Structure 1
Amino acid sequence: MQLDPAPGGAAALRPPPLPHPGDAFDAAAALRGCAGGDRAALRALYDAFAPRMLGVAMRLLRRRDLAEEVVHDAFMRIWEKAASYDPARGEPATWIFTILRRLALNVLRGEARTDLVEDYDRLDVASDEADAEAVVSALSDADALRRCLERLEPLRRHAIVLAYTRGLTHGELAGRLGVPLGTVKSWIRRSLAALRECMA
């Protein structure tokens, strides 16, 4: 995917020097760089977040072409709006994934999937909650998504909500939940199938 937010083309997006092993990626600093017009900072954000963002977009949109387009548009928005990021209001990842989810919801609206949009809107509002159960509880009793989520076993529900609202990979979910990677993959696959069937 090509990023070209300003004159100079993709070649102008030269990757920053690789961090020393063990160094934590400073997303807030990268956003400040974007706000100052540093294209290398945008590339660093892309390298750090794009794979996870694509996974979230795929889960929401279920089409790779749409997911890739939304991720690209999200980085254009990040580039344009980086100066508006306020660290006092939340972590960089929360801000970034909020942009992504809102763009994905716009696509769903364009596809006339209003039933899913209403539920995902509420899921997006609740996504700053630290606990997955709080996310489920934040959905109104009448929501189809909550009703279907509540049919899942607690750990499977926890995994699916974290995957959607936090963009965690299967490996990260396995580490966070303390279960084997294969188990997480099975939970996500079966949970998505159950949700699709429930909401059909």
Structure 2
Amino acid sequence: MTPQQQLLEWLRSSAQGDKAAFESLYQATSAKLFAVSLQLMRRRDWAEDVLQDAFIKIWHNAGDYHTEKGTVMTWMISITRYRALDLLKSRKVKAEHIELDESWMEALHTGEFTDPASDKARLEFCMEGLESDHRQSIYLAFVNGLSHQEITQYISAPLGSIKSWIRRGLAKLKRCLEA
């Protein structure tokens, strides 16, 4: 039996409520799906949440799988990716009243730069010039994707302070990057 056939058998059995088959499916695929989730989320705890949500969806929708949708693994990766993207959208933080060049915001989040050597060094230089509270708040918001409320819980600071630190930090960052 090929690996694809084995996954298909476990998925079909899972659709019939076979928990042992679902456990086998999980054991065979969870590492790969977790890697996909972690690559997108860049945070282990969020990647774990995505993986759990994905497997719940796989369990509930196992009967909806059809071979014309691609391999079982492709179908499961697709579910995992959509769950990750949904979570990222729900936790996206937008700067208040401060507009940095979109390419810089994307670079801050992804770490990908048009001129990697100079752009990354410039951004790192400007980030280092920020006060530590401002730098940490911006990093938590734009790199880790935390909401303002999540940042308040993470660093135990008032919501108003978090918003001010992000706003002031982005303004300083913008001035530095445009200099």
Taking structure 1 as the reference length, the TM-score comes to: 0.46
User: C-alpha displacement at 1:113, in angstroms?
Assistant: 6.3
- CA offset digits 1:151-194 (Å, max 9, x no partner): xxxxxxxxxxxxxxxxxxxxxxxxxxxxxxxxxxxxxxxxxx9x
Match of 2:66 in 1: 86
Q: Is 1:42 paired with 2:22?
A: yes
> What SS does the aligned partner of 2:80 have?
helix
Cα distance in 1 for residues equivalent to 2:82 and 2:112: 25
AA matched with 1:197: E
In structure 2, the CA distance between the partners of 1:45 and 1:112, relative to structure 1 (3 Å rule), is same
Larger Rg: 2
Q: Which has the higher contact order (CA 8 A, sep 6+)?
A: 2
Q: Is 1:66 paired with 2:42?
A: no
Structure 1 gaps of 5+ residues are 1-22, 115-143, 149-192
Cα distance in 2 for residues equivalent to 1:44 and 1:69: 20
Structure 2 gaps of 5+ residues are 95-102, 115-122, 124-179
> What SS does the aligned partner of 2:111 have?
helix
Which among 77, 96, 111 is matched to residue 196 of structure 1?
A: 111
- CA offset digits 1:71-104 (Å, max 9, x no partner): 0111111000000000122110111000000000
- CA offset digits 1:1-22 (Å, max 9, x no partner): xxxxxxxxxxxxxxxxxxxxxx
User: C-alpha displacement at 1:106, in angstroms?
Assistant: 0.5
Number of residue pairs matched by the alignment: 103
Q: Map of 1:28-177 to 2, 5 A cutoff?
A: 28-112=8-92
Root-mean-square deviation (CA), in Å? 2.8
Cα distance in 2 for residues equivalent to 1:78 and 1:24: 21
Q: Is 1:27 paired with 2:7?
A: yes
Runs of 4+ in structure 1 off by over 4 angstroms are none
In structure 2, the CA distance between the partners of 1:29 and 1:59, relative to structure 1 (3 Å rule), is same
The structure in which a higher percent of residues are helix is 2
- CA offset digits 1:116-137 (Å, max 9, x no partner): xxxxxxxxxxxxxxxxxxxxxx
> What SS does the aligned partner of 1:197 have?
coil
Of all paired residues, the percent bearing the same amino acid is 35
Cα distance in 1 for residues equivalent to 2:38 and 2:81: 11
AA matched with 1:198: F
Taking structure 2 as the reference length, the TM-score comes to: 0.51
